[in-house]
Amino acid sequence: MRFWRAVASPTLLDLDRSELGEKLAEWGEPRFRADQIWHAVYREHASSYSAISPLPRALRERVGERLAFDPLGPVDRVASADGMTTKVLFSLPDQETIETVLMRYESRSTVCVSTQVGCPIACPFCATGRAGFKRDLTVGEIVSQILHFARELGEEGERLTNVVYMGMGEPLLNYDATLRSIRILNDPDGFGLRARGFTISTAGIVPGIDRLAGEDLQVNLAVSLHAGNDRLRNLLVPTNRRYLLSALIHACRTYVERTHRRVSFEVALIDGVNDSLVHAREIAALLDGLLCHVNLIPLNPVDGSPFRPSPRARREVFAKELRQAGVPTTLRLGRGIEVQAGCGQLRGRETAAPHDSRDRAEPSL
């Protein structure tokens, strides 16, 4: 990873607005050229220098020789039968691959981005974690995933409204690149996505949550909880051995005090593992008095994993128990499962599902 950092040269999408201005100034170009490029890329969603028409052709070529435009290339694309979920496989400059998912809803469109190649947390029920960890993504590699889908939507006259850092990897272990990508896309003179449109999801990296609480940024925080006792959570989310629930919840309480923002907690319900009434009560006790919201998601099937989704009836009982204890709770449905674009199904290689029935997951519960 250190080697990668040392050799990777920045692309246009790695730079914020002032860095782009400095680069062009170094090359003897006036400031307004940087503004033209910024506007073309982040407002008009240009996908290459040749699409930036206000720039003279010779300048486009000069800049292109010195600064690559985009570090990612799409190599595969699958869509769910209803067309509402799309997953794209991207190749990176070092031949690694990552996946990104677009989810359309009636009144919004959300892109689920990856922040690392693989994931070091290694939750046993998640395909990404099972495949190991390779490296952090660069800022440009994160920004590029989002621009790709903003362009796709733009061609259909639609807009991207939300970005969730819930793809491959642990965003708070790639903190700087994650935050820089948000600041770049939040720029009101550029892409202009409002801070509240971003959600960072974490397995519970306490120092990262503390740092995020100190940023002056109204982004959403989601915590992948999955269990309300340390013994079970140590197994399901191995980073819990380092950051125990007491420390995690303390960090969340501090986060709420400082930001006045509600934290959301994700719980993937697994048959016979974390879905009993006792488990629900443990979570309710843990979250008592905290400004929060719980999302209960059915476990998505992952090849080779022994874990099975909790039956619907049990999920409903679980939700009821939390609500009765005063914890706002939503029972969510799986999405994009048949194209393996659901939570925990991203693994960074071409999807066999639509072409090969042996590999096809059941279309959710």
Q: Considering only residues 41, 55, 251, 268, which one is a binding residue for ligand SAH as defined by CB under 6 A? A: 268
Q: Residue 169 class from Cβ within 10 Å (0-12 exposed, 13-18 middle, 19+ buried)?
A: buried
166 touches ligand SAH (CB under 6 A): yes
Judged by CB, which is closer to ligand SAH: 184, or 270? 270
Judged by CB, which is closer to ligand SAH: 89, or 172? 172
The residue at minimum Cβ distance from ligand SAH is 344
- Active-site pick, 112, 119, 252, 343: 343
- Active-site pick, 99, 141, 170, 282: 99
Taking the complex as a whole, the smallest distance from the CB of residue 53 to ligand SAH amounts, in Å, to 39
Residue 53 three-state SS: coil
One-character DSSP codes across 61-87: HHHHHHS-S-S-EEEEEEE-TTSSEEE
Q: Considering only residues 125, 133, 255, 318, which one is a binding residue for ligand SAH as defined by CB under 6 A? A: 125
Residue 343: active-site member: yes
Taking the complex as a whole, the smallest distance from the CB of residue 268 to ligand SAH amounts, in Å, to 4
Taking the complex as a whole, the smallest distance from the CB of residue 242 to ligand SAH amounts, in Å, to 14
Strand runs (DSSP E) across the chain, as ranges?
A: 73-79, 85-91, 97-104, 109-112, 116-118, 133-136, 162-165, 198-202, 220-224, 263-269, 292-298, 329-331
Furthest CA-CA distance within the chain = 68
Enumerate the β-bridge partners of residue 87.
78, 101
15 touches ligand SAH (CB under 6 A): no
Taking the complex as a whole, the smallest distance from the CB of residue 303 to ligand SAH amounts, in Å, to 10
Taking the complex as a whole, the smallest distance from the CB of residue 166 to ligand SAH amounts, in Å, to 4
203 touches ligand SAH (CB under 6 A): yes
Which residues, 331 to 350, sit near ligand SAH by CB under 6 A?
343-344
Contact 298, 314 (CB under 8 A): no
Judged by CB, which is closer to ligand SAH: 90, or 125? 125
Segment near ligand SAH (CB under 6 A), from 40-48, 50-58, 146-154, 294-302?
A: 294-302
201 touches ligand SAH (CB under 6 A): yes
13 touches ligand SAH (CB under 6 A): no
What CA–CA distances, in Å, run from 98 to 76, 168, 259? 11, 7, 32
C-alpha 161/C-alpha 108 separation (Å) is 6
Q: Closest Cα partner for 9 from 81, 70, 62, 76?
A: 70
Q: What is the DSSP-derived secondary structure letter of residue 29?
A: -
297 touches ligand SAH (CB under 6 A): yes
Taking the complex as a whole, the smallest distance from the CB of residue 291 to ligand SAH amounts, in Å, to 19
202 touches ligand SAH (CB under 6 A): yes
Q: Residue 238 class from Cβ within 10 Å (0-12 exposed, 13-18 middle, 19+ buried)?
A: middle
Give the footprint of ligand SAH on this chain (CB under 6 A).
119, 121, 123, 125-126, 166, 170, 201-203, 224, 266, 268, 297, 299-300, 302, 343-344
Give me the active site residues, please: 99, 343
